Structure 1
Amino acid sequence: MIRKQYSAALTATCVILGVIIGVQVNTVKQQRMTTENQRLSEATAALNQLQTEHDVLQEQNKALEKTLKEYQEGNFGEEMEQLLSFAGLTEVSGTGVTVMLNDSSTKGGSDMNAYLVHAEDLLAVVNELYAAGAEAVSINGQRMVGNSAITCAGSIVMVNGVRVAAPFEIKAVGEADVLDSALHFPGGVVDNLSPWGIEISVRKEAAVTVPAYTQTALFKQTEEEE
């Protein structure tokens, strides 16, 4: 009798354990399926997000390619030309003046430097030309731009870091009559240099060409400063 009760109890226990194990197995499977589905859902969402971003970038790339093509085809050529001209990176031609300056031939005087053309003399002429509306100015072929420098070390004059020497040829594009009048204005540049015997002449031109600024000059200046 006892043995039968023990056997029945053992059987019931095994059945209960089997049911518990089965429930746990099903629960684990369901959790795994839920986790896998969640991961799949997250991966799908991430993939969709990447696809959306990719589409946006493609559209932006197409727009940039279109803009580049328009520039290459010259649709914005006039605007680009104006910007390059303003920066001094293109040759400029038109009416204007040519100014020639040379050292004085006078041998007298205790300070011979006073009879030489110095950086400040060139700067005075350039400033006067710009004040009179010059569009472009060059000194001995060196184009004057925003970062140009005219310096003097003794009798040596440097323009854009390039050594230049007398006679100095200054070319300016603009209204010739206005530029000429500005330089000959009473008490102006010509009047200030004449007493020292500095040779200065202004010639009005129907066509004058000012060359483009070259980066080579800037590199030379940087190397010498170092």
Structure 2
Amino acid sequence: MNKHVITVATIAAVAIGFLISLQFQAQREVDSAEKIQQQRVEQTDTVMKTLQDENNSLQEEYNRISAELERYRNQNSENPYLRARLDQLKIADGTIAVTGPGVKMIVKDSGPDTDAVIPLSTDELREIVNVLRLAGAEAISINGQRIVASTSIVISGTATILVNSVPISRIGGTTYEILAIGKQDDLLDYLTNMIAIDLKQFGRKVEITRETVTIPSFKGSYTFEYASEVKKG
């Protein structure tokens, strides 16, 4: 009888010790997960602040370029310097096609080779554009649409994504082709570490390759109803 009691007590003690050990382990894992989550939130806040500053800077640069471009157009000069400067401004303004070293990113949000549960969103597309700009991209396009300062990326209805007011998605899933020109190492690093990881977590298939890419010109128009150039003097 005594041996039986001792055996039961021993088993109970071992079980309690095991449960306590599991509790400590679970608490450590929770603490670790909370720490990782906090670090991720802090990193995201830092990135978002940087992207916001970059967007503000890009808007200021766009306003300056637009004013300078219009001034050169109005001069209608054959001056070689002005012509070269005009070409540079057209590249920055997105009004001419460009080619150069860069990256091609393919994102599939449906199909037999993906485990995607939700389609790519406009917020995710805007984040891709912002990260590419942060990486120093000189030109960007999404499914043939040139990204410029005035580009809008919005959803129409329940499933159609519009870029520059042009539909680029379709019901049933879309393959997105994002092209960017710039320093290939930087573009690849930023996309891989800041975009691809998150996209893959939702089952999307992502491929990023170094390529010489050609990016089309912006097919829309710039219309300023209220803004005008500030006259000097």
Give me the CA root mean square deviation.
2.6
1:105–1:197 contact (8 Å) kept in structure 2: no
1:159 aligns with 2:163: yes
Corresponding residue to 2:217 among 209, 212, 218: 212
What is the CA distance between 1:152 and its match in structure 2?
A: 1.7
Q: Residues 68 and 184 of structure 1: is their aligned pair in 2 closer, same or farther, counting only changes over 3 Å?
A: closer
TM-score (norm 2): 0.56
Matches of 1:209 and 1:106, distance apart in 2: 29
Q: CA deviation at 1:92?
A: 1.5
Q: Deviations over 1:81-103 (max 9, x none)?
A: 11111111111211000011111
* Letter of the structure 1 residue corresponding to residue 148 of structure 2: V
Runs of 4+ in 1 over 4 A off after TM superposition: none
**Structure 2 counterpart SS, 1:97:** strand
Structure 1 residues 172 and 74, CA, compared in 2 at 3 Å: closer, same or farther? Answer: same
Whole-Å Cα distance in 2 between the matches of residues 176 and 120 of structure 1?
A: 24
TM-aligned CA deviation for residue 115 of structure 1: 2.1
The residue number in structure 2 matching 1:223 is none
C-alpha contact 2:164 2:220 (8 A) present in aligned 1: no
C-alpha separation in 2, matches of 1:115 and 1:105? 12
Deviation by residue 1:105-134 (Cα, 9 ceiling, x = unmatched): 479x9xx8x521121121111111110000
Q: What is the TM-score when the length of structure 1 is the normalising length?
A: 0.58
The structure that has the greater radius of gyration is 1
Question: Aligned pair 1:117/2:99, yes or no?
Answer: no
Q: Distance in 2 between matches of 1:183 and 1:73?
A: 41
Q: Distance in 1 between matches of 2:111 and 2:118?
A: 8
Counterparts in 2 of 1:124-139, with a 5 A limit?
124-139=127-142
Measure the CA separation in 1 of the matches of 2:130 and 2:95: 20
- State the partner residue of 2:199: 193
CA distance in 2, matches of 1:106, 1:141: 25
Asked whether the 8 Å contact 1:97–1:176 carries over to 2, the reply is yes
1:118–1:155 contact (8 Å) kept in structure 2 = no
Residue 134 of structure 2 aligns with an amino acid whose one-letter code is A
- Distance of 2:186 and 2:140 partners within structure 1: 15
2:192 corresponds, among 166, 184, 195, to 184
Report the 3-state secondary structure (helix = DSSP H, G, I; strand = E; otherwise coil) of the residue aligned with 1:215.
Answer: coil
Matched residues, percent identical? Answer: 29
